[in-house]
Amino acid sequence: MAGSESPLKQIFSVLISITAFTFQGTSALVNPACPTAFWNFGDSLTDTGNIINAFPQCSECRAERRPYGDSFFGRPAKRFSDGRLVPDFFALAFQKPLLQPYIQAGAFDYRFGANFASGGATASNDSTLNPFFLAFQISQFGRLKQTVELEKSQIMCAQFLPFLPFDDSYSKGLYTIEIGGNDIINALTINNLTAAQITTQVIPEAMTNIANGIETLYNNGARQFLVSLLPSGGCSSSAVTLLGSSSPTDALGCVTAVNLLFQAYNAAINATIASARTQYHAASFTIFNYYAANQEILLNPTKYGFNPNLTRTTCCGAPGVGDLNYNPDALCGNQGSTKCSNPEEYVNWDGVHFTEAFYRVISKFVLNGEFTDTRFNYTANCNLSFNQFGPEVTFNDVYGNTCQVTFT
Ligand SMILES: *[C@@H]1O[C@H](CO)[C@@H](O)[C@H](O)[C@H]1NC(C)=O
Ligand SMILES: *[C@@H]1O[C@H](CO)[C@@H](O)[C@H](O)[C@H]1NC(C)=O
Ligand SMILES: *[C@@H]1O[C@H](CO)[C@@H](O)[C@H](O)[C@H]1NC(C)=O
Ligand SMILES: *[C@@H]1O[C@H](CO)[C@@H](O)[C@H](O)[C@H]1NC(C)=O
Ligand SMILES: *[C@@H]1O[C@H](CO)[C@@H](O)[C@H](O)[C@H]1NC(C)=O
Ligand SMILES: *[C@@H]1O[C@H](CO)[C@@H](O)[C@H](O)[C@H]1NC(C)=O
């Protein structure tokens, strides 16, 4: 075909395609900017209180008991870790109050956004463990925004104004989405689905909901998204302990079949975001490759302050099953479990969730633009400081003089 065209016509058509490509490139890729607020959707990796505020004293709410929260907070802080989670490190880096869970009876402060993440949540409409799946979280964001608009329209609501989102909190907010691990965990451990069912049913349903969620947020003014892939779930102490003896493991000791499912989910998120980029030209999308970041920490633990002998071992747990201190009959927070003396050296906190030390490294990666596809460096562009990230800093050091609704 090309041979039948004149050289000039060939060059011309090449130029047109380059121009078209360049034009499409610039219009499709909006750069991130410094956010003024944070709107987070996710599961227990980023839940700063929702599930426990909704279901206090529930049988699985071990995070209400010590030693959860011991690091930084000095007591349980409704978080599934020994201390701070990624949204907490973001708040410290941006020098903002801790991002408040939107379910918080008796108190509210939405000036800098809200956190809708909820422990156990899925992206698919699976309410087995938690009714607050992604579609629900997004609809709650819409309800919050409606209520705020109603309040702002009434002079008699003036007393609430100081605690409501600013008018530009939606358009200049950062919308972070971190969800999906429970889709796979529930499918494997509760719903007894096969890998084929997960890839053909669970993942596509989850992606429909992520795509719908992005559309709803976009229609509500969201313009900056940061979407996390899933970490390497096959490397968790629980996966290795429960499946590692019956299922092949890789060079890092991780359960290959589980990691493959997590990566299948990640490939699907990539495709979902690629599609969103072509649809919403006015928005920026950054993908954080949590999986690669997790692998990097496991491959080079010493570089990040972790003990290479302990990368797969649970800090808070009990012996008796396998050799990683993870025992389903004595989970962290339950009788028979104990906390390690040096959580800073561990990646894994309770068998499923990570330590504050791990989230600290992850937060720095994200804020520095590492393991992200846009490479946008929030630290440099927003003049962020990691001064309050250290393990020696306590909640009282930073927030001692603020209204404290973080605890039960
Ligand atoms: C789970 O599925 C497998 C194969 O599909 C089946 O053999 C097994 O009985 C199921 N287990 C439960 C508890 O339903
Ligand atoms: C999940 O539920 C929401 C409503 O809560 C609905 O809009 C959505 O279509 C459902 N997703 C799927 C994949 O069925
Ligand atoms: C997802 O996209 C990121 C960024 O482009 C890439 O580094 C990563 O390998 C992709 N992951 C999968 C599982 O496709
Ligand atoms: C790791 O274990 C080896 C063998 O027991 C020991 O020699 C080494 O000191 C340990 N490393 C750390 C950082 O504790
Ligand atoms: C991001 O910016 C910070 C502060 O300027 C700098 O220390 C860091 O090296 C940068 N990260 C990358 C990956 O360029
Ligand atoms: C950056 O932040 C530091 C302290 O965190 C402050 O001293 C400095 O003035 C800030 N620079 C800019 C350009 O805002």
Q: Quote the pLDDT of residue 107.
A: 80
Q: Give pLDDT tens digits for 151-165.
A: 999 999 999 999 999
- Give the residues surrounding ligand 6 with Cβ less than 6 Å away: 383, 385
Q: So what's the pLDDT on residue 329?
A: 96
Task: For residue 128, count other CB atoms closer than 10 A to its CB.
Answer: 13
Ligand that comes closest to the CA of residue 376? 5
Q: What's the gap in Å between 111 CA and the centre of ligand 6?
A: 22
pLDDT, tens only, 72-95: 999 999 999 999 999 999 999 999
Parts of the chain with a pLDDT under 70: 1-29, 59-60
At residue 29, the pLDDT reads 66
Domains of the chain plus CATH, in order, are 2-21+35-397 (3.40.50.1110)
The CA dihedral of 238, 243, 244, 247, to the nearest 10 degrees, is -150
Whole-number Å distance, alpha carbon 126 to ligand 1 midpoint, is 19
Report the alpha-carbon distance of residue 215 to residue 275 in Å, rounded.
Answer: 11
Say how far apart CA 148 and CA 109 lie, in whole Å. Answer: 12
In the reported structure, the alpha carbon of residue 4 is separated from the centroid of ligand 3 by a whole-number distance in angstroms of: 40
Whose C-alpha lies nearest to ligand 6, atom 10? 383
Q: What is the reported pLDDT for 406? A: 85
Provide the pLDDT for residue 129: 75
Residue pair 369/375 in contact (Cβ under 8 Å)? The answer is yes
Q: Is 341 exposed, middle or buried (0-12, 13-18, 19+ CB in 10 A)?
A: exposed
Residues 6+ apart with CB under 8 A from 18: none
The atom number, within ligand 4, closest to the CA of 345 reads 13
Cα dihedral across residues 132, 135, 137, 141: positive or negative: negative
Q: Determine contact, residues 230/319, Cβ cutoff 8 Å.
A: no
pLDDT of 92 reads: 98
Residue 393 makes CB contacts below 8 A (sequence gap 6+) with 72
**Beta-ladder partners of 224:** 284
| Residue closest by Cα to atom 5 of ligand 2 | 135
